[in-house]
Amino acid sequence: MPAFGDPNAWLGIVGLAPGKHGANRTGRPFTGDYAGELLYATLLKFGLADGAYRADPGDGLQLKGAIILNAVKCLPPANKPEPGEIRTCRNYFEAALAALPKVRVLIALGQIAHVAAARALGLPPASTKFGHGAEAAAPDGRLLLSSYHCSRYNQNTNRLNAAMFERVFGRALELRGG
């Protein structure tokens, strides 16, 4: 699944992998699945997208200053990647991130995305603990923010709600200015 968004983005959003009923079916990250509803509403609210999200890649939605990448390139079995898949996809993710030199802030959605982003930024995952709202600075000055994934499960169990998710994006905007 290719990255989606602004090739000159300052903000990189790292998802887990294409979802079976979302990106894998539609060809656009977080499109057509429950997680996309919160993600794209948040991007629109913070001025990081233009248009209207209608869960269809033909809806004309465009990202501004943001781009979405996945830590794993293909649909994983049971919607959870195996360690071997994560290792195999690491080079693809790192190459995609390296092709985006203007990305200064990354938001990792979930622990697997957090570990992939930390490694890509040269941060040892063992010393860069995942947690909602966690922040880490990479040796080159880029910043990693982490959030619980905006999955249906996390939203339905109230592990993540819109206000919590929006705080992470608000923090990213603050860091961009700093």
**Mean of per-residue pLDDT scores for the chain:** 90
pLDDT tens per residue, range 39-77: 999 999 999 999 999 888 889 999 999 999 999 877 677
| Selected residue with higher pLDDT from 141 and 178 | 141
Q: For residue 93, is pLDDT > 60?
A: yes
Q: CA angle, corner 56, sides to 50 and 57, nearest 5?
A: 70
Confidence of residue 33 (pLDDT cuts 50, 70, 90): confident
For the domain 4-177, what is the CATH superfamily, name and number?
Uracil-DNA glycosylase-like domain (3.40.470.10)
| Selected residue with higher pLDDT from 90 and 158 | 158
How is residue 42 written in tokens?
Answer: 């948040």
Yes or no: say if 32 and 61 are a contact pair by the CB < 8 Å rule.
no
Yes or no: say if 17 and 74 are a contact pair by the CB < 8 Å rule.
yes
How is residue 77 written in tokens?
Answer: 């079995």
| Domain residue extents for the chain | 4-177
